[in-house]
A = this chain, B = another copy of it.
Amino acid sequence: MFIHSVYFWLAKPESDDDRAALKAGLESLRSVDAIHHVEIGVAAPTRRPVIDHTYDFALMMTFTDEAAHDVYQVHPIHLAFVEHCKHLWSRVQIYDVATK
């Protein structure tokens, strides 16, 4: 399995409109059929020094393999999301995990 986790920091976290727009953009990705499973969330209330809770949205996707992830990366729905939403974030942090 291939797990693609993306953390987003809003450029204007004070803007409810921007937050709603990024949320809507993230939700649009659910329709990409190359994805096995997708979760969209926010930072949980847990607070410890080793926890980074500063992001605004988390997008976590599983794919059957890296090839399926590669299909997602160039899928028109994903490219449209990046094009329409990239002005909304100031930082993106990704972790791609390969499991047995």
Chain A interface (Cβ < 8 Å from any Cβ of B) = 1-3, 5, 7, 39-46, 48, 50-53, 55, 58, 60, 66, 69, 92-100
Contacts and interface: CB of A to CB of B under 8 A. Distances in A.
A1 B39 contact: yes
B45 A97 contact: no
Q: How many copies does the complex hold?
A: 2
Contacts of A43: 95-98
A62 to B, nearest CB: 8
Closest 10 CB pairs of A and B: A41-B99, A44-B96, A41-B97, A44-B98, A58-B97, A51-B94, A46-B96, A39-B99, A50-B94, A50-B92
A2 B44 contact: yes
Nearest to A1: B39
* Central interface residue in A40, A44, A52, by most chain B CB within 10 Å: A44
